[in-house]
Structure 1
């Protein structure tokens, strides 16, 4: 034979392959149908009322036999064995024609249009587990073990912001007045690695002035951790120079550190800074909720920063119990002000003393 295969030749090959698979899987029933005998009473095909067509293919009889408007496969579906490699190839074809997105139910609804598979749902699920592309598309990343917390986050500090993480966010565009160009402003976030309190400063540029304003109000930190930004790397020299000009005795009397240690995350690895990156996300969400889409001035932006700072520092750090006799949850404001602060409750309600 030469040339391309015709539709009749392909259909004849399919019938031969399916008939051979049926004869192997249902040998007793197939032999009984060939000889015109009744099926054994213990046969699984008894309720399907099988019969052989002119190609020797075993088909199921149903109540739609006289519906000549329907195709032959819908009136007399071909019975397919559960464990045969033929059904696996047929399911594979329908599964790939559906671009690997058809679910089990949808594939099961398509296949019975021509075939009736014994335990068809289980056969479809078995192939979905074997499909290499579905394995790749549905693969989930492995969950690595969490690394131990850095030592600087586990040290006992005498005050908040002794161990500090710092990061920038922005820019935020502010208006300067009629006829004046808009200016970029940045959010400089400091977070205490122990109490998880935050301090938000508005930076007019990516320099170290925001750090000095934080130091004036929160005290000189012992250790600072940040990402590998050029503005942070350039600030190391200025921080060391600042400490040299301090009175050592005054520093010791105020329980400050004897020096500032700066730690930088590895380059191009923002996941190392999760301790301050998660605070940046919370701060930006609170700021955008306060500002909306309106134009703001420098003063309005700074007010929004302080409002977001108060909101974040009043978040509970411990489990909020519903029992009336349990104490109120611990918040970062307890380390900063000795009370819950924020907008949760007036001061008279907060009677628990959290001071060491």
Structure 2
């Protein structure tokens, strides 16, 4: 090996992964033994690490360093990155670099024609642009131009995807890379890297969902409002049923009647879970909305006892407690429970938590329950 071709040039020429022929002044056998092709490494950090270790050895072995001067490891690492980018540009942008050096216009067919490329203060090819007066870092103002088709540049993008953005999406990747680099065909390469990432593919997977059954007949048959209803309870809630001086709060519940045709909601407050309390709430509901022909509910003990009494009172009415879950109709009543229950404690405490206060608040909450049920259709 002659002194005209330094070891640094050998490393950088091999770092591009594109030049198959080695310099004529270099012994091919020596290069094969000492410096393997850097493109075989699947990690950009490893590629720079190989160049870094060579430069550290080269500096220590150089006779010019015998004066006692020291070079920090961070400086050697930056130099390794610089040399890697320098030789990548030298291989892929030969014509553009030659045109800029000769002060000639760049070919219109070049990917760099619209970037106004220039040589930065580190002698790397950078984007020109009009942001010289912007309050940005030098790398953001003039990003380093890199070819997207280079395998080492792809390793760089993969490294940024794993280590810097923590498997971020394509938009985050482009934003992160734009702080230092301008990669030709960058959007396509970034999309390719994100799609090829095994971890991202696993988290993007859509779980298999069971196909929903057809809607029940009561949901699709035209009828008056509240002819077919779903029924559920929300609570318990602290309710003050008396305004006496020493009156204490007791548990109260909210009966939610939801129309299975229009998903309108009617709410009544009940004092306990007995069948009599429910029948009183049901009587108030019938007085306002009319008598339903069918009621769906869960298998609660309150509804079982009420069902027996209702069947004795109204032979033509039917109360179904076992089939509600099978038909999927409990879904609509459950959707109305949550938006009805949660606002009540905070809004009624200031009013003393009386049954009258709850009644006023329930008038405001009922439209919210209907909206939630509609959203869940």
Give the TM-score taking structure 2 as reference length.
0.54
1:171 aligns with 2:171: no
Distance 1:284 1:112, change over 3 A: closer
2:354 equivalent to 1:297? yes
How far apart, CA to CA, are the structure 2 residues paired with 1:52 and 1:296?
Answer: 73
Q: Determine the structure 1 residue equivalent to 2:183.
A: 117
- Report the CA distance between 1:188 and its aligned residue: 0.8
Structure 1 partner of 2:308: 240
Name the CA shift for 1:186/1:266 in 2 (closer, same or farther; >3 Å).
same
1:224 alignment partner in structure 2: 295
Taking the aligned partners of 2:181 and 2:251, their CA distance within structure 1 comes to 67
Q: Is the 8 A contact 1:167 1:276 kept in 2?
A: yes
Q: Quote how far apart the aligned CAs of 1:81 are.
A: 0.5
- Aligned-partner Cα distance in 1 for 2:350–2:189: 55
1:200 correspondence with 2:261: no
How far is the alpha carbon of 1:174 from its aligned partner?
A: 2.2
| Superposed displacement of residue 233, structure 1 | 4.8
Task: Show the counterpart of 1:351.
Answer: none
Deviations 1:246-279 (A, max 9, x none): 4xxxx56xxx33x433235559x9x863322344
CA displacement, residues 59-108 of structure 1 (integer Å, 9 cap, x when unaligned)? 348699xxxxx999689864310222333332343443244568848854
Counterpart contact for 1:198–1:309, Cα < 8 Å: no
Consecutive unaligned residues of structure 1, counting only runs of 5 or more, are 65-69, 316-356
Is contact 1:286-1:308 (8 Å) kept? Answer: no
Change (3 A) 1:89 1:313: closer
**1:178 positional shift:** 2.8
Deviations 1:145-198 (A, max 9, x none): 6542212334566x7644321111122222344333321211011223235454
1:59 equivalenced with 2:130 (yes/no)? no
The 3-state SS of whatever aligns with 1:260 is strand
CA distance in 1, matches of 2:310, 2:140: 86
Evaluate the alpha carbon distance shift between residue 236 and residue 52 of structure 1 in structure 2; reply closer, same or farther with a 3 A threshold.
closer
Check 1:293–1:241 CA distance in 2 against 1; reply closer, same or farther (3 A cut): closer
Name the CA distance, whole Å, in 2 between partners of 1:180 and 1:191. Answer: 33
Whole-angstrom distance in 2 between the partners of 1:170 and 1:182:
14
* 8 Å Cα contact 2:298-2:321 kept in structure 1: no
Deviations 1:22-56 (A, max 9, x none): 455345557x58x98978745624665566999xx
Q: Is the 8 A contact 1:59 1:76 kept in 2?
A: no
1:148 aligns with 2:211: no
TM-score (norm: length of structure 1): 0.56
Distance 1:25 1:206, change over 3 A: farther
